[in-house]
Amino acid sequence: MQSQNAEILLKQLQEENALLVHQLHALQECLIAQEAPAAALAAPAVVVRTVVAKNRSGFTAAICNLLTGSLRAQATEIEASGFFDKEWYLARYPEVVGEGADPIVHYLRHGAKENRNPSPHFDTAWYRSRYPDVAQSKFNPLLHYIRFGQFESRQPAPDVPSGADISPVGRAVQQLNERLAQFQAQNKALTQKNQQVSAEKTALEASRRELEERLVQLEEKSRAQEEALGQARAGLESAEAQRRGLEAERAALLEKLAGQEEAQKAVAQDMAALREELFRQQERQVESEGERRRLEQELERAREEIEARARERRELEERLVQLEEKSRAQEEALGQARAGLESAEAQRRGLEAELAGRAGRIEDLDGERRRIAAELEAARAELASLLKLRDEQAKREEDAGQQALRQFAEIRQWLLEEART
């Protein structure tokens, strides 16, 4: 918004400056064509009286011819235009310094004929060759450009645009326009870049929020997995405790089974001894039938006890197998839970690294935007100084015009008095 206001203000100032310059040149032409300029006051009164005495009816024409050809009037007009660079002229042609003449007067008398240039922005020889009508009229090239060429969009030099204001203020305004165009292009590029940065920043913010949401979800999932893992660990610890209890129970059962096996062996040995004894008793024809039945009952009880212990052993072995399968299943579930937790932790670390990288990129973009804003402020300050310089030059030109009008009134009064006499 500020750059647009500055551009509008600059255009208005340029239009006002062009109007003032045009009015000043028109005033100078009017002074030269109709009445005497301020410099004519220095003309000797004898010359004026002589001209009036010779041809009083052509008094006005004679005065115009005399004053139009006045070098001092032309020098004043050239100096008022600001198109002549005295310092540059003296530096380019140092022999003029030794002559002690005014640089503008020297140019009017000799410089233009010698194809010397009044400033680096006006080429005398090129202007004559480019516009043959100027060469044929024998008119001073710079004075022609001041009075007519600038408004006819003629070109003062090969590398200067047509109708250019080659005064310091004009060159400053032209440079200001060029810099303003560069500034506008740069501002447009910066605006586009700022829009891209804003869009990218918005996208990064959306991505950051999405990452934060995903991170929150992952953290919740991680907490849930940690809780599940804690429960699994608790279950595993419980299963481990059960397994240790079962192992202890198994060890006890194995010991008991070993004792039963030993007892079974002892019973078997007893049975063998009993068989032998039975055989011996049969051989001997045991004396008592009741004793035989008792031995057979004891043998039957021993067989039943051996079968019961064998069944108990099989049941213990089956229960031990079930406990081992359950323990393996719990260990597999615990391994899967640990793997899931490690994967979630890796994803969380990756998302944190990506979020940190994007935050750094946002900081770099903010630094670039601040640097561009500083350059913009510097350009605005320079524009203000150039506008101030243009205003000062316009004020000087206005003062010169007012002085010319006053001098015009004085010389007119003098001519009227002279005409009356």
Count CA within 13 A, CB hemisphere, residue 123.
15
Grade residue 142 by pLDDT with cuts at 50, 70 and 90.
very high
DSSP 113: T
pLDDT at 90: 94
pLDDT at 16: 62
The contacts of residue 417 (CB under 8 Å, 6+ apart) are none
Of the two residues 156 and 416, the one the predictor is more confident about is: 156
Average pLDDT, the chain: 79
**Is 195's pLDDT higher than 80?**
yes
User: Taking the C-alpha atoms of 40, 89, 176 and 400 in order, what is their torsion angle to the nearest 10 degrees?
Assistant: -10
Tens-digit pLDDT profile for residues 210-257: 888 888 888 888 788 888 878 878 877 887 888 888 788 878 878 887
Paired tokens of 296: 């057979």
Mean pLDDT value of segment 387-401: 84
Other beta carbons within 10 Å of 17 = 19
CB 274 within 8 A of CB 295: yes
Paired tokens of 336: 């899967």
CB 118 within 8 A of CB 142: yes
Q: Which of 42-51, 64-73, 275-284, 293-302 has the weakest average pLDDT? A: 42-51
AA identity, residue 34: Q
